[in-house]
Homo-oligomer: A and B are copies of this chain.
Amino acid sequence: MSAYKLLLLPGDGIGPEISAEAEKVIDFLGQAGVAKFEVERGLVGGSAYDAHGVAISEGDMALAQAADAVLLAAVGGPKWDGVPYDVRPEAGLLRLRKDLALFANLRPAICYPALADASSLKRELVDGLDIMIVRELTGGVYFGEPKEVVTLENGEKRAVDTQVYTTHEIERIGRVAFELARKRNNKVTSSEKANVMKSGHLWREVITALHKREYPDVKLEHMLADALGMQLVRWPKQFDVICTDNLFGDMLSDVASMLTGSLGMLPSASLGAADASGKRHAMYEPCHGSAPDIAGKGIANPIAMIGSLGMALRYSFDNAKAADAIDNAIAGVLAKGLRTIDIKGDAPTSISTAQMGDAIVAEL
């Protein structure tokens, strides 16, 4: 069995704590002979800034390029609020996305039945919820140029960000959404603000044409992004796959994941296109952030991080067996009533980050 080359980037805040639990799983899978990893470790975000003065070093970028997959925990925190814009923690994450060309971000919003009461929505609205948000990740207002602040003659400042999308960028993310829908409930909701944005207008045009040409069997609907935000709150189960741009995807996926009451449990995958040799870059991360307020307390939920490792096994390493084992172990500990504080609900007690990691390894 050849080893999977994995770059682990614990990042900031609770990142190192939850990464340690993922490493327990990595070690266990290796010892059990289920999956062999060659793990490199690197720095990203504030921790990279503290060490190297940049949000990710050239050395770590080279490791990311060489790896089969990157497993990243989270970046950012108030400690780095004052650092220059170009080296702020998020710049490391954005560079990884851009340089590895990870254009397709898959963000599931799943409500685990055991956690339906943890949602702020009424139970019947979210119980069994299973949405997949497909977010475009290397274009739009995140990367378009010009992106600058200039000082005007009158002393005022003027800031500009540019939203840009081209036909092929929209087509390739649309394809990812339609393909996923075919394996799910066969419905795609494409979302933009075609009523006020030219990029939204083009988005709708390209998705409509792609649908007609290549995916007429999939049900397609268009919904304005503001209306979609509303509908997520009103009746989330109407959605199957949501396909949207970088900025709307950022907001809508956060709203969707919060509905589930399972924020600490949701993994995500960011995938590139395959090159001539068939190699495809990929990065896996929890949907939650670095949670600086609870960092260092040993109470963070490692499940999204361990689930992200599971996604890596499934999508990058083609090891569905190991991925299933991880998903089952997570379901197993939940069924036993084990809860970290974020998903505690009415449970009598909660366990620590390390206890949750240990319990998942024991279950494996």
Check if B226 sits within 8 Å of A250, measured CB to CB.
yes
A141 at the interface (CB under 8 A from B): yes
Check if B120 sits within 8 Å of A235, measured CB to CB.
yes
With a CB–CB cut-off of 8 A, which chain B residues contact A158? Answer: 164-167
Chain A contacts with B in 215-270, Cβ cutoff 8 A:
225-227, 229-230, 232-235, 247-248, 250-252, 254-255, 257-259, 263
Chain A contacts with B in 121-165, Cβ cutoff 8 A:
121-122, 125, 141-142, 144, 147-149, 152, 156-165
Given the known A-B contacts A163-B160, A193-B247, A196-B90, are A230 and B254 also in contact in the complex, defined by CB atoms under 8 Å? yes
A220 vs B7: C-alpha distance in the bound complex, in angstroms?
Answer: 40
A197 at the interface (CB under 8 A from B): yes
Interface size on A, residues (CB 8 A): 61
Of the A-B pairs whose beta carbons lie under 8 Å apart in the complex, a sample of 17, sorted by A's number, is A85-B201, A94-B196, A122-B122, A141-B141, A141-B197, A147-B197, A148-B198, A149-B202, A156-B168, A158-B164, A159-B199, A160-B163, A161-B162, A161-B200, A227-B289, A229-B254, A230-B263
With a CB–CB cut-off of 8 A, which chain B residues contact A235? Answer: 120
The residue of chain B having its C-beta at the shortest distance from the C-beta of A156 within the complex is B167
A15 at the interface (CB under 8 A from B): no
Render A103-130 as a binary contact track against B, CB cut-off 8 A, 1 for contact.
Answer: 0000000000000000011100100000
A162's partner among B160, B229, B289 (CB-CB below 8 A) is B160
Residue of A233, A234, A252, A263 with highest tally of chain B CB at under 10 A:
A233
Interface of A is mostly: helix
Residue of A149, A199, A230 with highest tally of chain B CB at under 10 A:
A230
User: How many copies of the chain does the oligomer comprise?
Assistant: 2
Given the known A-B contacts A122-B121, A157-B166, A164-B160, are A254 and B226 also in contact in the complex, defined by CB atoms under 8 Å? yes
A110 vs B252: C-alpha distance in the bound complex, in angstroms?
Answer: 22
A2 at the interface (CB under 8 A from B): no
Given the known A-B contacts A163-B161, A167-B156, A201-B159, are A196 and B142 also in contact in the complex, defined by CB atoms under 8 Å? yes
A163 vs B197: C-alpha distance in the bound complex, in angstroms?
Answer: 11
A250's partner among B76, B166, B193, B203 (CB-CB below 8 A) is B193
Render A305-316 as a binary contact track against B, CB cut-off 8 A, 1 for contact.
Answer: 000000000000
With a CB–CB cut-off of 8 A, which chain B residues contact A254? Answer: 226-227, 229-230
With a CB–CB cut-off of 8 A, which chain B residues contact A121? Answer: 120-122, 233
A144's partner among B90, B149, B160 (CB-CB below 8 A) is B160
A247 vs B141: C-alpha distance in the bound complex, in angstroms?
Answer: 12
A142 vs B196: C-alpha distance in the bound complex, in angstroms?
Answer: 6
A157's partner among B148, B159, B161, B202 (CB-CB below 8 A) is B202
Check if B157 sits within 8 Å of A234, measured CB to CB.
no
A289 vs B261: C-alpha distance in the bound complex, in angstroms?
Answer: 30
Check if A161 sits within 8 Å of B199, measured CB to CB.
yes
With a CB–CB cut-off of 8 A, which chain B residues contact A166? Answer: 152, 156-159
A5 vs B87: C-alpha distance in the bound complex, in angstroms?
Answer: 54
A88 at the interface (CB under 8 A from B): yes
With a CB–CB cut-off of 8 A, which chain B residues contact A144? Answer: 160
A31 at the interface (CB under 8 A from B): no
A195 at the interface (CB under 8 A from B): yes
Given the known A-B contacts A166-B156, A166-B158, are A120 and B234 also in contact in the complex, defined by CB atoms under 8 Å? yes
